Each structure stands twice: as C-alpha cells, then as structure tokens.
Amino acid sequence: MTQAQQIKEGYPDFCMLDSINEDIFMANLKQRFAADHIYTLIGEQVVSVNPFAKRNLYTPEIMKSYNDKYMYEVPPHIYSLADDTYRQLTTTKENQCVIITGESGAGKTEASKIFLQYIAAACTGRGVGGSKATPISSHSSARAEAEKIMEKLLDSNPVLEAFGNAKTLRNDNSSRFGKFMQIQFDGAAKPLGGMITQYLLEKSRVHSRATGERSFHIFYQLLSQKQEPDLLKRLQLVSDPLQYQYLKLSTCTTVPSIDDAADWKEVNKAMVALGWGEGERFSVWKILSAILHLGNIEFQADDKKSSVDSVVIKNKSEMEKAAAMLEVPTGMLQQALTSRSITSGAGRRQSSIMVLLDKAQAEVTRDALAKHLYNRLFSYVVDRINYVLVAGGGKKDAPPVELTIGVLDIYGFEIFENNSFEQFCINWCNERLQQLFIKLVLKQEQEEYMREGIEWKEIDYFNNAPIIDLIEASPIGLIKMVDEACMVGQSTPDSLLQKLNQNFAKHPNYQSYETTNDKSIGRTHFRINHYAGQVTYDLEHFLYKNRDTLFGDLVASMRASTNKLVKDLFPADPAEATSKKIPLTSASQFKIALQDLINILASCQPHYIRCIKSNDEKRGGYLADERVRHQVRYLNLVETVRVRRAGFCNRQPFVRFLARYKMISDKTWPIWRGSLSDGVKAIAQAVVPSHEFNSEIKLGKTKIFIKSARTLFLFEDHRTKHLPKVAIMIQKVFKGYKTRKWYKAELERLRREKEQLEKTLVLKRAAWKITKAYTMWRYKRHFRNLRKTHGQPPTYGKGTPIPSIWPSHRSLVDDFIVKHHIQHWARVKVKTLNPEGQALVRQKILTSDIFGLGPNKNKAWESRRRFTADYLNVNENPRASQFETAVNILFQKGGDSEILFADNIVKVNPRGKSQARVIIVTNSNVYKYEPKKYTVRKIGIPLQTITGIYLSKVQDTYCVITLKPPERDVVIDVGGWMGSGIERVSELVTVIYQQIERLTGSKIPVHFKDQIEFNNSRDAKNKGLDCVINFAINPKPNERGSFFVKGKGNSCSILYSKDNY
C-alpha cells in the first residue's frame, strides 16, 4: 500500500501514526471502517470492528495469501495473527495463547472461529499448503489424522454455542460462559487433540432474564423440530415456545438472524461426529424437556394446613412429566419441591426435621433445581466433548502433549440496566485480564528492548491494580465480605451494603448512595469505577447467587433416578454426609478457576484480538462514534499503542529487512556478501538523510527499529521505484537462461528424434517388404490349395456355397485371407446378378443394418424373407384390377412414377380404433387407401415430412411413423392383416429409409424402444394428445398377431403373441 493510499484509507497499523491520542486513534479507525477495512493492527495485535454485515474476507484464496507471511507484509487480518501464532509455536517451541477481548456483541466468538479455521488449515496443510508452518502437510497419513482432530475441534463450536450461547439485548449470539480452548500438539507441532475449559455459565438465564432476550439456543432448537413430531411426542413437548413459562417470560422466542431448525440439524450432526450415540443424545433431550416442564409447575396455598404457610402443586401433570423425563419417583420430587429437610447434630444425635415451604420458597427451589440441572448438563456436554478431543483419548500410552495453543473466548465487559452477581464476576474477570494484558505487553516490550540493546523508557499507563485489590484483597475485599455474609444466616442485602460502606467508603473506586448521596445509585446498590467505566450493581440477589444452594432433598431425588445421565450429574459423595467443611461459594470457586486461567495465560506467549462493537442497533456498515470511543477507552487501546510504539512505529529482523529492501542500495544489490547489520545499515544510509539517521534509525542486535511512519514509507517508496528495473533485469536474465536451456534441450531432442525416426523408417520398410512377400505367398498357397480341393473356380449362382479350406486354428494372416476371400466371393457373386437382383441384395443388406442379425438383432424376429414390394397387384388379390386402376389414377394426378411398397395394413385412428387400410409408398409420398374400392382417404404424406420411425423390441409388427407438426403421426400394423402371420414391417421401414436418403441425402432415425410416444390426433387448430404405447404379451395364447388397445388417458397397449413370426 502506497503512502497516498494510507492517507486515503487510513493507516493499517496504529503504531504508524505520527502522534497518538484518542481523537487521532478514532479518526484512523473511522477512516479504515469507511474504506471497508474492519481489521487494524497495533503492532502484532489485531483490532477487529464488528461491521454487522457479511464481508468477503474468508475465502480459501484469501487464506492462502497469508500463508508464511509476516504480519507487516500483508493487510491486517485474523489470518495473519493466526499464521504468526503457529509460526511462533513451531520456531520457539513455546506454548501460545490468543486472548480475545471485547464486550458482548463485539464479535469475539466469530473471531475465535476464524482463528481456529486458519490453524486447522495451517497445521493440516489444507487450504494453505506449502508453508514452512505446515510441517506435516507432506505426510498423507499424518495429515489425515491431523485433519480429523481439527475437524472435531471445529465440530465442538456449534454444540457449545447451542448450549452456552443466547440472544441478549446487545448480541443475537452472545456467549453466556467463558471458554478456554487448548489445541494440543506434539514436539513437531502435529495436532494431537484439544481440551475445553468453561467458566461461569450464566445458569440463572434458564429461569430469569431481561425482557427481549432469550434463554439458551438449544431450547428453541429442540422445539423447532416440526418435521420430527415423534421426538417431541416422546419428550411430551409441543413446538410452541410460548407454552413454556421459562421461555415466554422474556417475550422473545424468535430472532430474525437465527434459523433454529437449521441450527438443530447442525448441532445433531456435530454431536454425531463427536461420538454421541442416539441414546446419549436422547438422554440430553429428556433433561432439557424436564427443565421446561419444571418451569411450568405452579404452586398454591395448601388449604388443609391453615396453621402453617405451605403449598401444594397446582398442576401436577407438569410435575409428573418432569419426573418422567428425569426418571425419578414422582412423590419424592413433589416432596422435594414443597418442603426441605433440616439436619442437626451428628452421629447418634443427628436428627432431621421437615420444613414446609411457602410459595416464594417453593418457586426458588424449583428454579434452583432447573438451573442446577442445566449447569451440570452443560458441564457434562463440555466433559463429553473433552473425552473425544483430549490427546490420545486420555490413554496411558497416548503421545505426550508438548505444546499448546490456547484460545480464550470469554465474556466481554458488561454494563446492563440491572447488573447482578453474574455481571460482577464477568467484569471482575475482565479486570484481571486487563491487568495481565498490560503486564505481558510491557514485559514483551521491555524484554525485546533489552534483548536488542535498545534503551528502555518507562511508559505511563492506566493501572487497575487498586480496582482488583478492592474486589479480591484479603482480609478485606468485596469477595471476602460477600462470602462472610453468606456464612451468616441472618445476612441481608442491606446488612451487607452497610459493611461495604463501612470498609470502602473512602476507596476512590467504590461508591454507594450512603457514601455519595448520588440518587442515581439505588438504596441496595453499589458502584465500582472499573477500568472500562462505572458499573452499578444490585445486591438484591448477590447472597442467594453466591451461596448457589441446592437443597439435599432435591439432590437425593436426582440420585434416585433410574436414568444413568441424571445420576451421573449428581454423583454420590460418601464424605459429603460427614464433612464439616463449608461448601465453597460461587465467587470462591470462580476466583480459583480465574487464578488458574491467569497462571496458564501468563506461562504462554500471548497474542491479542481486541474486538469492538460498531453500534448497538446492529446496523450494517455504521460506526457510532461515542459508543466506539467508550470501548476504545476501556480497552486501553490508546495506551496500548503508546506502549507498543515506545518511540518506534516499526521493527523488522535484519534478514527480512535486507531481503525486502536490498535493491535500494547499489552496495547490497544484487548480492550482499557482508554481515546482516552492515547490509541493513547500508540500505538505511541510502534512504535516510545523514542528519536524521541517528534519530530515525536504531540498529539492535538482530532487528532494525524505525521511529516514524514517514521514514517507513520512504523505504517503501524507494523500493517501489526500484522494483520495475529489478523486475526487468530478473526477467532478462531468466528469459535468457530459459531460452538457452530450451535451445540446448530442443537441439538434443531433435537430434535423438531424427536418429530414432531414421531407425524406425528402415525397420518399417523392411517389415513392410517382409509382410507383403509373406502375404502374397500365403494368398497364392491358399488359392492353389483351394483349386486342388474344389477343382476349377465354380459358378457363382444362387445357392452355391463358398468353397473353404479354413484351418481350425487360424493365425492373423489366415483371418486376413478369409476376410478378403469372403469379400471377393461376395463381390463376384453379386456381379453375376442382374441390376434388379443387385438392388434387392443391397436392400436386404440395409435391412440387416437397421434390424440387425443374430445376437445383435433389434427385434425379437429376423427378416430373412424375400422382399416383393407390391403385394396387391398379384393374382392372389381378387381386386387386383381395381388396384391397378387406382394406381394409374394416382400416377396421373399426383405425379408419382413408381410404387416402392404396397400392402394391406391396420391403421389406428385418432380415437384409438383399428381400421383396415391400404398403404402405398411411392417415390415421393405415402398414401392410405380404403381397401374395398381402393379410394384414397387423404392426400399423400410427402416423404420429406417424416422425422423418424419407432418400433418395439418384441414380436409385434406395429410401427409409428412420426411427422413434422401439425401433421399427425401414423400408427400402423404391417403384418396383422386378417391374421396373415407374415411380418412386412421390416420391408416398409427399409423402403422409406432408403427413399428418403435418396431424396434428401440424409438418414432418418429408426428407434427400437420399450415405450413409444406419438400424437395422431393433432391438427392445425389443436395440439392433440401425446400418447404412450406399452407392449405386453397377449393373455389369450390362441390369438396370433398384434392388437392395439386404447387405455385410460394417454396410455395405450399393444398385445402380441410369443408365437408371432
């Protein structure tokens, strides 16, 4: 890209900007977005702006263009980051990780998919073949195994999205859980498997969420199966989501951008590919069905127990359906939903009492069971996928995992109208990731500067350590205080808020109504000044969600299930009954998991994709300035540019710089034989003025550092100017080399070819002379032997057999002699005939060509009889004189001069009736006559209007003569006249075929088919009816001949006898 293009379309790397602040950053981002560039770099990081529109950026051709290219050599793309990640894995042999950050709807999930697709192609050699970063692409068996592993990783995406994603107000496909996917490799960077770790599923979404949002996709996909009513019937479900309280409560069941039915098919296909059997999948569907039925359970006051506030289930049918799906005792589930057991004491002193629940408590208990069921089901789904993905299937003899690439797709920073415990944990996680990001970036920069011997300057940046201390410091931190409140049974949101106010009133990042008198903060709310902005949290359900209690009665009822999957979701723990340990709260569990994740990421070489949501309306191609500016602030992108630049906008290894720019200097072009650093210095001195050299260029130990984008463009401009002459010189040298090489090779080839041709010609001439002499000798010997055997040459009259002395085992020469002998015999024999006889022989030969002979015959019978042509002007015809008179009249009026064929036939009329007729074929026309008085029925049919002749392959004698529309096709039986038992259809077809060829010079097609189509009812005014003839054996065996039968509609049949002809 030239400097003019950079100015017009924006800089592809923010580090190229001469100066940096928020306004300059936004101007460049908007400029690139307007030019349809959604990716921009910050050094090796990719900033991705969700355009909410399809972009043609992910084709195999584009993917291949990023293969084995450094990030600064190609336009910004996730592909370039993926290629760099895999290259680092193969060259440094260090674990890699990609951290994808951004708020909900910024495109993190799509970015992770794009990254994985490239890695899958890179490490299998599929789509980006020929790379240095594709070490196994040349081994077909290894590549097939690698492709299989990567396909399983990609197949896990639709399953995880179905169970873990949902439609929110900001995003139609929002991840409601954190996902860290690790691709496992051996020491040669061959993929072995993978592992997925999930964090903090938003399980409360099962029973509560904001209006306009949806529950998890899988519920709607399951109910979309109208084509599979049997499945819904077995699950006791209906396809209408509004029939289920858990789905209708947010008034949103369909999303224009989501096709639930299509996604259901994709999920099932992926589950099958990942090894789920039909029984396993059905067990999952049963649990989903049970959750929906649980949500429909309603409670009402128990009138029989007026002294205590208790409830009974109002609609027991829903409870019975849930119990049936979970395969638990109905009574046990009913009791667990309406009461709870409280155990006191231990050992022999242990006692248990039953406490009845009021309506509110029963509803909370019901919802707790539903969300815990779903949460454990989701964990099972992840574990089941890991079982298939993990390297070697978890076997002891599996190859060791030596390298990994981790992809972190985790919830973005969230600020909703009502922010609860889930948003607190999500934003806490993002605070830790932001802290890690700053530390790792600074660490990378500092290490590179020290490694290259460049002076390091301290950089100011926003440090969010005080916010993290506020949240998780010990002994006084928000998490610690929330956990302590959960241990005290009498704690309430108000009492917790008072403690928070007492401890954090003076903290700069904590606010509440009591500490600030800010009326925008509710009475049971507190506010934290996060790095991404202020977020107000509602404490109303903090304690309940942090305790995350599931009563023992519900657990016991699940363990009583006869369904293996349900029992596995609630495994029995023998130490559980005697343990005095307080169960870990949700916050404590999340803190441990989060710390493990941070430790893993800190041990990897990090790469970053920073995702930005262009607008909240999901409008394609629209960038909302303030909305994006806010994300730029809380993602600390401006500070990231400052850190990354550290005074230099670009750095390149000596070897790459020298290879790219060596044509600029006469000292380095075309071949540089000195050290890399001296070569780089010579190029830089040829471009950068001497008075600017020290300020613009720094040479490290292995890299050159360029201060400003202006200087970098200067190198590119000089390179662009020198490329034409370089290209001309390369072309000249290469063309000269190729031409000389071709000339020498061609000269040698022609010499060898000439020698070979001369040898071949000599051999051919010798072989031809030998063959000719031997053949003539064999000819002479054959005819001498023939004369000895048969005497003088015999006459060639009718019935004279061909004299032969063929040997029983003939050679090729014998076959040649026999062939020519037979041809000679036939030629001499035909020449003895008069012209009429010769014409008849030719006609019979044509018949055999059309109808075939022996095993190659087209009809069930063979035509071996003598052709008479005129079967009416004979003594056997009592009306021969009338026929002769009719023919004379025909010749006088019609101009015809010769009768080629005449006979009695049976014709099928437009109504399907068979009629006796006479057919006369002259040299020009075909005529149909009335057989009694020989009166012509209609004008003649010119032979030129015939388009084809159709016959069957069986014993009948019918044929269909097709004519050019609007003339009617002719269906006739030539051989069925008064049961004559003589087929004459072969003669008629041959005569018509032969005469049309004489008249037009072209041959009409003759078809032999099992079904024949015709139309004998059309005329100039109407199209008539296209009919189809089928052929069948006559069920009356005593009837000889062929019979036409008109069926219903356009179907017709011709019945024939097997004994015909």
Task: Please tell me the distance from the alpha carbon of residue 284 to that of residue 271, in angstroms, as a whole number.
Answer: 11
Supply the pLDDT for residue 793. 58
Which of helix, strand or coil describes residue 933? Answer: coil
Which of helix, strand or coil describes residue 907? Answer: strand
Provide φ and ψ at 263, rounded to 5°.
-65, -35
Supply the pLDDT for residue 171. 83
Contact status, residue 377 vs residue 390, Cβ threshold 8 Å:
no
Task: Please tell me the distance from the alpha carbon of residue 849 to that of residue 838, in angstroms, as a whole number.
Answer: 17
105 among known catalytic residues? yes
Q: Name the active-site residue from 124, 174, 419, 515.
A: 174
Task: Give the burial string for 1007-1041 (b: 16+ CB within 10 Å, else e).
Answer: ebeeebebbbbbeeeeebeebebebeebeeeeebb
pLDDT tops 90 at residue 562: yes
Q: Name the active-site residue from 156, 168, 173, 175.
A: 175
Q: Name the active-site residue from 85, 109, 464, 924.
A: 109
What is the mean predicted confidence (pLDDT) over 913-930?
92
Task: Please tell me the distance from the alpha carbon of residue 682 to that of residue 258, in angstroms, as a whole number.
Answer: 59
Contact status, residue 1014 vs residue 958, Cβ threshold 8 Å:
no
Beta bridge partners, 407, equal: 98, 181
Range name among 48-52, 396-400, 1043-1047 with the lowest pLDDT average: 396-400
Average pLDDT, the chain: 86
Task: Please tell me the distance from the alpha carbon of residue 421 to that of residue 452, in angstroms, as a whole number.
Answer: 47
pLDDT tops 70 at residue 519: yes
Supply the pLDDT for residue 131. 43
Sign of the dihedral defined by the CA atoms of residues 166, 168, 174, 177, in that order: negative
90 among known catalytic residues? no
495 among known catalytic residues? no
pLDDT tops 90 at residue 50: yes
Give the pLDDT confidence of 323-364 residue by residue, as tens digits: 999 999 999 999 999 988 876 555 555 566 788 888 988 998
| Residue 143 CB contacts under 8 Å (≥ 6 apart), including other chains | 124, 125, 126, 136, 137
What is the mean predicted confidence (pLDDT) over 582-603?
86
Tokens of 988: 């008629």
Contact status, residue 394 vs residue 379, Cβ threshold 8 Å:
no
414 among known catalytic residues? yes
Q: Find, among 131, 133, 148, the residue nearest to 191 by Cα.
A: 148
Supply the pLDDT for residue 860. 81
Supply the pLDDT for residue 800. 58
174 among known catalytic residues? yes
Q: Name the active-site residue from 105, 125, 193, 976.
A: 105
Supply the pLDDT for residue 214. 95
Task: Please tell me the distance from the alpha carbon of residue 782 to that of residue 811, in angstroms, as a whole number.
Answer: 13
Integer angstrom CA distances of residue 729 from 499, 658, 720: 80, 19, 15
412 among known catalytic residues? yes
Task: Using a pLDDT cut of 90, give the percent of the chain over it.
Answer: 41
Task: Please tell me the distance from the alpha carbon of residue 341 to that of residue 345, in angstroms, as a whole number.
Answer: 13
Task: Please tell me the distance from the alpha carbon of residue 149 to that of residue 399, in angstroms, as a whole number.
Answer: 14
Tokens of 560: 């009583």
Task: Give the burial string for 626-664 (b: 16+ CB within 10 Å, else e).
Answer: eebebbbbbbbbbbbbbbbbbebbbbbebeebbebbbbb
Supply the pLDDT for residue 140. 59
Helical residues (DSSP H) of 296-413, grouped into ranges? 316-326, 330-338, 359-389
Q: Find, among 148, 128, 108, the residue nearest to 67 by Cα.
A: 128
| Residue 857 CB contacts under 8 Å (≥ 6 apart), including other chains | 851
48 among known catalytic residues? no
Tokens of 352: 């248990």
Task: Using a pLDDT cut of 70, give the percent of the chain over it.
Answer: 91
Q: Name the active-site residue from 48, 171, 430, 615.
A: 171
Q: Find, among 683, 373, 383, the residue nearest to 558 by Cα.
A: 373
pLDDT tops 60 at residue 2: no
Q: Name the active-site residue from 80, 104, 168, 427.
A: 104
What is the mean predicted confidence (pLDDT) over 919-943?
89
Give the pLDDT confidence of 787-839 residue by residue, as tens digits: 777 666 555 555 556 666 666 677 777 777 777 777 777 787 788 888 888 88
Q: Name the active-site residue from 412, 679, 975, 976.
A: 412
Task: Please tell me the distance from the alpha carbon of residue 431 to that of residue 608, in angstroms, as a whole number.
Answer: 16
pLDDT tops 70 at residue 1042: yes
